Amino acid sequence: MAELALRGGPEAASTLDVPEWPQHTVESIENVVDCLESNAWCRVSEDAKWVDQFEDRYAEYHDADHAIAVANGTVAIELALKMCDVRPGDEVLVPPYTFIATASAVTSVGAVPRFVDVDPKTYNVDPESVAERVTDDTVGLVGVHFAGYPMDFDELLPVVDEHDLFLIEDAAHAQGTEWNGEKVGTVGDVGTFSFQESKALPGGEGGIVVTDDDVRAEQGHLLHNIGRQGGEAYRHYALSSNKRLSEVQGALLCAQLEKLTEENERRRRNHDRLVKGLSAIDGIETKPADDRITARGFCLFNFRYREAAFDGLSKERFIEALNAEGVPVSEGYGRPLYRQPAFSREHVESHVPRSVDVPAYNNLSLPGVQEVTRTNVTLPHEVLLADSDGIDAIPRAIEKIKDQVDRL
């Protein structure tokens, strides 16, 4: 067998040609140029059209009655919380294994995040932990469809209903994901998406809020536009910030949406091929297959690495060796959010009413998320756009490392 790349040998995954990301199309350029030449760059301009078009197209794509485009995925969650009438001092359940915006959005509206555990098999919120962590002050849950793999609604919705909680779906990773034939985002009360450039639907920045609730949608349109209604430029009906998406980004996203379905299908085929290849390797575990997931969006590909099956080789050294073989893996989110300095008690207390008791996050210990942070290995979604030879090289590279683990 060839020498390990870390020891000067050839890369096992030299055939893995990962496309650059983000990618644009000719239509992307045409749309943006059209917007620039129109001089209508703001969605409230008289001749603006692109953000309206994108909202309509995205609502149709995700089977939603309403869509409100905003500046990024973070403010999308903030807007969703306000659409659910979250007040300062309220408590909102959030997972600790996700991008910080899922939880920091809660503090941005003056509410208190309360962390629930995740299922280490799926990385999504554990419904049992949700039920256990509810208090008298809990008003809702922001759950994440991690890496595009949807939350288990069959288990989660009864818990949400029993405790009279709202459910916001943080679907930043899940453009195109379906649960039993229904697109995510409207299974709960409100759904949010991100179009940051690393996402499968990239607009540089940008986000959107979707809902089937007419009242919440009306509130969202008001609050995303500094409390304005209709075309009244200087009459404001609510105190709010400016969360609008620009026309330039709307033009770009209209074009990007056109190619998402085909790209997601390529990702799905390669996902299934990669899972099949990895399933033959002892010590590598992928997320469970689930017939209720009828379509997948993608942002990441995750697998769990078991050091014991690799003679105790640390995950850090395994990642280093696999990178050397030409596979662009990382540890992903390296720590639970409750271990982030931003969630020190003093920082959170500066955002919430003084009368509110803030949890001591640094004392929190949740076994599911600890298992995930200890074992998770991540690939970016663009790897799943490579050709089949490149996909097949990934398990071969892992096998090469395992066969020569004594040399590491």
- Asked if 159 contacts 130 with a C-beta cutoff of 8 angstroms, the reply is yes
Q: Is the peptide bond before 22 cis (omega within 30 degrees of 0)?
A: yes
Distance CA 107, CA 358 (A): 11
Q: Left, alpha or beta for 251 (phi > 0: left; psi -120 to 50: alpha)?
A: alpha
Which amino acid is it at 210? V
Q: How many helices (H) and strands (E) does the chain have?
A: 13, 13
- Asked if 173 contacts 42 with a C-beta cutoff of 8 angstroms, the reply is no
Distance CA 35, CA 290 (A): 43
Closest CA to 142 of 183, 176, 202, 100: 100
DSSP-assigned beta bridge partners for residue 68: 209
| Catalytic center residues | 99, 170, 173, 196, 199, 228, 234, 244
Does residue 364 sit in helix, strand or coil? coil
Strands (E), 49-137: 66-70, 91-94, 112-115
Which residue is it, tokens 């809020």?
209
Distance CA 139, CA 96 (A): 18
Estimate the crossing angle of helix 247-258 against helix 26-38, to 10 degrees: 160
Sign of the C-alpha dihedral computed for residues 334, 175, 103 and 126 taken in this order:
negative
Distance CA 125, CA 208 (A): 22
Both tokens of 24, joined, read 């644009």
Closest CA to 138 of 190, 92, 71: 92
Per-state percent for the chain, helix, strand, coil, to nearest 5: 40, 15, 40
DSSP-assigned beta bridge partners for residue 167: 141
User: What are the phi and psi torsion angles at 330 (to 5°)?
Assistant: -150, 175
Distance CA 300, CA 174 (A): 10
Q: Left, alpha or beta for 123 (phi > 0: left; psi -120 to 50: alpha)?
A: left
